[in-house]
């Protein structure tokens, strides 16, 4: 259970329904990335008025734009949907929802065609066909990419203008979504948000779609942009939605590691082209850990990298591109340009790398059409958990999921038409009043302490003692931030990360085995008894506060939770 000196507030900020502005739309989509854009475009194309709330100042600044690798799709005669499904399920280590896998994989060709119609420019061979790359876990060449390692930018560059130009979509940039607005029956009827002007307003809608991305900024080392602060998952939790599989967080094995440089992702497609990992002594080590060597699933490569770093007492490992077939500067211009800034010639020198938090596999529990456990609330993309990825996401499946299920979610919203929300009797419950105090909490100090703790105790390798320590410390910081921090966006982001960090630690402590991206030193083997999703939700104590979360394990993989157990 979550160990809280002060119960968690239902809402981050106090509001008065009679004193704030209101916007009314058919649908509110929170997030401008591939998932949110696809949902918004689908809903708008079917006649709905859609508001899209963007945390950044433009439609290019989001997780999708940072995606380096590619988007997986079956486009070659030597490949098949069945093979893509099998690869995904194998990588998911027993926890994939096979119906979801089948639906998403089958939607690949249509998703690529949609992006091409919107103007996405993907890499092509000399014959003019789409060039298909290889990545870890895939048994066939099926990775569509752009400019070598800038696929996300190409996809977002096509979706962003489509959002901006659609007559039924209104974009609200520089908006921070604070909390979901709920009715007494639990249904979601809108979103409380801070506008660019600093004003707090309510966006009312019959349907609200969370497409807020992940939470990599919880960790000291991450490939995620600064916007990835787990906001959507935290909002859904406070509103009472079920969350799923938060113990599974994927760490990418090749994150550029140079003092003073941003932790830039070096795409797996680089290893697919022949790049290999070496330790400080120049030894290629991955063949010792897996038969697929450098193209083993990401969780295996990340743990092998961490193990090699420990053995050599070194801060990183190295990626070697000196023997690949072709000029790496031409094949991978993005990483070439970044490394040149630090006087590294990737055609001649080794690139220092280490694992970094990359993709939040768990999230808001949702189905193939975005439905969550709360009426009126939908979730899609990285903030959602459908069971597609199981216990370990296979590379380049996430952009595919975003396009396919994002479109499905928009269609579902339009088909069901929850209707425009009725006038609110009350807007949001007031949180616990802050005491009069001259003490100021240092937001940045807590932020960096949290990142280090998450990296150390809820990172690539875990154990019960460290997880319990993390739960206690995160709860202590949550109490302080909730009581003493000002009402600012950085404080709200920190509170969201502390909340989801605690829930992740609880879920990881509850799963007493190792599976996929979740590895425990004290339970290093997988256990068939744990071939089950974990589900966590808040135990509401009153209108203002939440009690201890309840963790349960769903043994059917597709049905409702069948076992409910509190974990101390």
Look at residue 295 and give its three-state secondary structure.
helix
State residue 559's pLDDT score.
45
pLDDT reading at 436 higher than 80:
no
State residue 267's pLDDT score.
80
Residue 492 has φ and ψ, to the nearest 5°, of -65, -40
What's the pLDDT tens digit per position in 141-150? 999 999 877 8
Stretch 291-316: mean pLDDT: 88
Cβ neighbourhood burial of 314 (10 Å; 0-12, 13-18, 19+): middle
State residue 312's pLDDT score.
83
Q: Which of 349, 155, 325, 330 is nearest to 256 (CA)?
A: 349
Classify residue 502 as left (phi > 0), alpha (psi -120 to 50) or beta.
alpha
Residue ranges per structural domain of the chain: 253-357
Give Cβ neighbours of residue 381 (< 8 Å, ≥ 6 apart): 31, 33, 34, 35, 36, 211, 212, 213, 398, 401, 402, 405, 406
Q: Which of 543, 470, 525 is nearest to 9 (CA)?
A: 543
Query: pLDDT grade, residue 45 (50/70/90)?
Result: very high
Q: Does domain 253-357 have CATH number 3.90.700.10?
A: yes
State residue 233's pLDDT score.
98
- Please indicate, yes or no, whether the overall pTM of this predicted structure exceeds 0.85: yes
Look at residue 319 and give its three-state secondary structure.
strand
Classify residue 424 as left (phi > 0), alpha (psi -120 to 50) or beta.
beta
Roughly what angle, to the nearest 10 degrees, separates helices 489-510 and 464-484? Answer: 150
Q: How far apart are CA 553 and CA 281, in angstroms?
A: 44
Stretch 31-48: mean pLDDT: 97
State residue 169's pLDDT score.
98
Q: How far apart are CA 238 and CA 261, in angstroms?
A: 35
State residue 63's pLDDT score.
77
By 3-state DSSP, what share of the chain in percent is helix, strand and coil, each rounded to 5? 35, 20, 45
State residue 476's pLDDT score.
94
Q: How far apart are CA 162 and CA 114, in angstroms?
A: 12
Query: pLDDT grade, residue 437 (50/70/90)?
Result: low
Share above pLDDT 90 across residues of the chain, in percent, rounded to a whole number: 73
pLDDT reading at 413 higher than 80:
yes
Query: pLDDT grade, residue 545 (50/70/90)?
Result: confident
Mind giving me the DSSP string for 484-536? HS-SSHHHHHHHHHHHHHHHHHHHHHH--S-BTTB-BTTB-S--GGG-SEEEE
Q: How far apart are CA 189 and CA 47, in angstroms?
A: 20
Q: CA angle, corner 431, sides to 426 and 435, nearest 5?
A: 140
pLDDT reading at 475 higher than 90:
yes
Query: pLDDT grade, residue 6 (50/70/90)?
Result: low
Share above pLDDT 70 across residues of the chain, in percent, rounded to a whole number: 91
pLDDT reading at 264 higher than 90:
no
Residues that are catalytic: 298
The residues facing 384 across adjacent strands are 364
Enter the DSSP assignment of 284. Answer: B
Mean pLDDT of the chain, nearest integer? 90
Q: Among the ranges 326-335, 398-407, 533-542, which has the highest mean pLDDT value?
A: 398-407
What's the pLDDT tens digit per position in 70-93? 999 999 999 999 999 999 999 999
Roughly what angle, to the nearest 10 degrees, separates helices 108-117 and 98-106? Answer: 40
């Amino acid at each position: 259970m979550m160990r809280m000196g002060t119960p968690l507030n239902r809402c981050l900020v106090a509001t008065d329904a009679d004193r704030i502005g209101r916007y009314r739309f058919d649908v509110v989509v929170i997030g401008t990335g591939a998932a949110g854009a696809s949902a918004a475009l689908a809903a708008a194309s079917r006649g709905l008025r859609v508001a899209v709330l963007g945390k950044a100042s433009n439609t290019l600044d989001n997780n999708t734009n940072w995606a380096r690798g590619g988007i997986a799709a079956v486009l070659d005669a030597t490949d098949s949907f069945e093979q893509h499904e099998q690869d995904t399920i194998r990588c998911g280590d027993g926890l994939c929802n096979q119906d979801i896998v089948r639906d998403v994989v089958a939607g690949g060709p249509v998703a690529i065609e949609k992006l091409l119609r919107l103007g996405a420019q993907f890499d092509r061979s000399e014959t003019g066909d789409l060039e298909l790359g290889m990545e870890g876990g895939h048994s066939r060449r099926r990775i569509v990419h752009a400019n070598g390692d800038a696929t996300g930018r190409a996809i977002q560059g096509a979706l962003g203008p489509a959002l901006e130009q659609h007559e039924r979509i209104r974009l609200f940039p520089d908006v921070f979504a604070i909390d979901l607005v709920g009715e007494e029956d639990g249904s979601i009827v809108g979103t409380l948000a801070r506008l660019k002007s600093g004003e707090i307003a309510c966006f009312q809608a019959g349907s609200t779609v969370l497409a807020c991305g992940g939470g990599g900024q919880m960790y000291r080392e991450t490939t995620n942009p600064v916007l990835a602060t787990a906001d959507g998952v935290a909002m859904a939790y406070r509103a009472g939605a079920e969350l799923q599989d938060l113990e599974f967080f994927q760490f990418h094995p090749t994150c550029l590691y140079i003092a003073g440089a941003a932790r830039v992702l070096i795409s797996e497609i680089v290893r697919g082209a022949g790049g290999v990992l070496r330790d400080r002594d120049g030894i290629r080590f991955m063949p010792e850990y897996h038969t697929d060597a450098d193209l083993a699933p990401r969780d295996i490569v990340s743990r092998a990298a961490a193990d090699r770093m420990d053995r050599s007492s070194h801060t990183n490992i190295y990626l070697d591109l000196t023997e690949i077939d072709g000029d790496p500067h031409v094949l991978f211009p993005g990483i070439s340009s970044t490394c040149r800034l630090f006087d590294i010639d990737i055609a001649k020198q080794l690139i220092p790398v280490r694992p970094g938090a990359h993709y939040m596999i768990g999230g808001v529990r949702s189905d193939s059409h975005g439905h969550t456990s709360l009426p009126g609330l939908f979730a899609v993309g990285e903030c959602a958990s459908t069971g597609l990825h199981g216990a370990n996401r296979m590379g380049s499946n996430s952009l595919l999921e975003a396009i396919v299920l994002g479109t499905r979610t928009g269609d579902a919203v339009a088909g069901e038409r929850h209707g425009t929300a009725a006038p609110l009797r009350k807007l949001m419950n007031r949180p616990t009043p802050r005491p009069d105090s001259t003490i100021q909490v240092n937001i940045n100090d807590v932020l960096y302490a949290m990142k280090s703790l998450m990296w150390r105790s809820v990172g690539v390798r875990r154990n019960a003692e460290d997880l319990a320590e993390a739960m206690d410390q995160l709860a202590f910081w949550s109490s302080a931030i909730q009581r003493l921090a000002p009402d600012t966006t950085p404080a709200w982001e920190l509170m969201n990360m502390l909340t989801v960090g605690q829930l992740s630690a609880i879920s990881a402590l509850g799963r007493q085995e190792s599976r996929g991206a979740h590895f425990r030193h004290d339970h290093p083997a997988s256990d068939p008894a744990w071939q089950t999703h974990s589900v966590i939700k808040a135990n509401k104590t009153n209108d203002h506060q939440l009690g201890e979360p309840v963790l349960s394990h769903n043994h059917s993989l597709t049905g409702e939770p069948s076992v409910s157990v509190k974990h101390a």
